[in-house]
Structure 1
């Protein structure tokens, strides 16, 4: 099974690495990191990742994973990811995204009229791009899976493992990565964060 993880400047590393750690340990998978060029890509917090193939070299994949970006909406301006997605999505078994990566799927026309989720701060923008926005952490619409903000990429990938390899394999993978979150704070959503923290975040994001 061919897995294509999409790279582009200023992507959010955990959006990529979370699903990678879940999916790359499955049996009989081949992983490619696909980007516009083979030049190293710098994530939004400075991590440098090296592509293994270019968009021109990859015209199909069984599973596509599109991360989001802390520099959103900057990745939309280039359009390179959306152009590639229009080419490869029609023959993919699964097309997935994490966080604001769903806006790149929407830009490619993949989410027109379909339910999808994204980071809470860009739900309105995702709706404007044609998606039917959900507040769920993981949303399936046919062969498209979208995950909410950043850490939801792990949930999305575990969901995908269950769909492809079965629930027991997904449970096995969850145990392998010891994914049993017990955060020290309850501020993971706008509904649970204190008003002062939410206001601080909105000021930081300019929303």
Structure 2
């Protein structure tokens, strides 16, 4: 299962790397995951919101990825520019129903600006609930799972919780995820909201 973690100028380092590291640890444990740090435009370098420089990035592959994880960061400027939202809309068209969009923290707003939430249930950083309201049915939960759209809420460890949830859901890997959580030293938090 290929997981593309989107990197862009101003990405929140901890959102992207905590999510990536969780999937990478699962891969080292033998789970069938292939996490990658990617860009939409093929850029090989970006700078995060706290000035961390990332290199060696590769272009994304929405046609073959199972998950496209979109981190938060300095995204209001990106929403205004409209480039990343347009790229996300194109990625979903290319990936179709099999591509799971995963919004990490305020990264969900980029999915909303891309027109990909269309009144669906979603969550984001609590400070951004009002911003998310025009695009989605805002649910106050740690993780909101609506099939091919999975979003997580506030915090530096939200992406860890989202990755663990997807590993259990997609790979039926609950025992492996429990071991991974014990190794990380953190149990998942909060409620997972799923449509009945």
- Which TM-score band (shorter chain)? 0.7 to 0.9
What's the counterpart of residue 170 of structure 1? 177
| Matching of residue 48 in structure 1 with residue 53 in structure 2 | yes
What's the counterpart of residue 16 of structure 1? 16
Give how far 1:180 is off.
Answer: 4.1
Give how far 1:87 is off.
Answer: 2.5
What's the counterpart of residue 4 of structure 1? 4
What's the counterpart of residue 187 of structure 1? none
For the residues of structure 2 that align with 1:48 and 1:88, how far apart are their CA atoms? 25
Give how far 1:51 is off.
Answer: 5.0
The runs of 5 or more residues in structure 2 that have no matched partner are 189-196
Q: Equivalent of 2:91, from 63, 88, 92?
A: 88
What's the counterpart of residue 30 of structure 1? 34
For the residues of structure 1 that align with 2:75 and 2:114, how far apart are their CA atoms? 16
The runs of 5 or more residues in structure 1 that have no matched partner are 182-207
Q: TM-score, normalised by structure 2?
A: 0.82
Give the 3-state SS of the residue equivalent to 1:118 in structure 2.
coil
| Matching of residue 137 in structure 1 with residue 142 in structure 2 | yes
Counterparts of 1:166-205 in structure 2 under 5 Å?
Answer: 166=172, 167-180=174-187
The 1:93–1:176 alpha-carbon spacing in structure 2 relative to 1, beyond 3 Å, is farther
What's the counterpart of residue 77 of structure 1? 80
What's the counterpart of residue 63 of structure 1? 67
User: Which range is displaced more, 17-26 or 118-127?
Assistant: 17-26
For the residues of structure 2 that align with 1:75 and 1:140, how far apart are their CA atoms? 25
Counterparts of 1:101-180 in structure 2 under 5 Å?
Answer: 101-128=107-134, 130-151=135-156, 152-166=158-172, 167-180=174-187
Q: TM-score, normalised by structure 1?
A: 0.78
Give the 3-state SS of the residue equivalent to 2:186 in structure 1.
coil
Q: Is the 8 A contact 1:67 1:98 kept in 2?
A: yes
The 1:19–1:59 alpha-carbon spacing in structure 2 relative to 1, beyond 3 Å, is closer
The 1:150–1:75 alpha-carbon spacing in structure 2 relative to 1, beyond 3 Å, is farther
Give how far 1:83 is off.
Answer: 2.2
Give the 3-state SS of the residue equivalent to 2:133 in structure 1.
helix
Q: CA RMSD in A?
A: 1.9
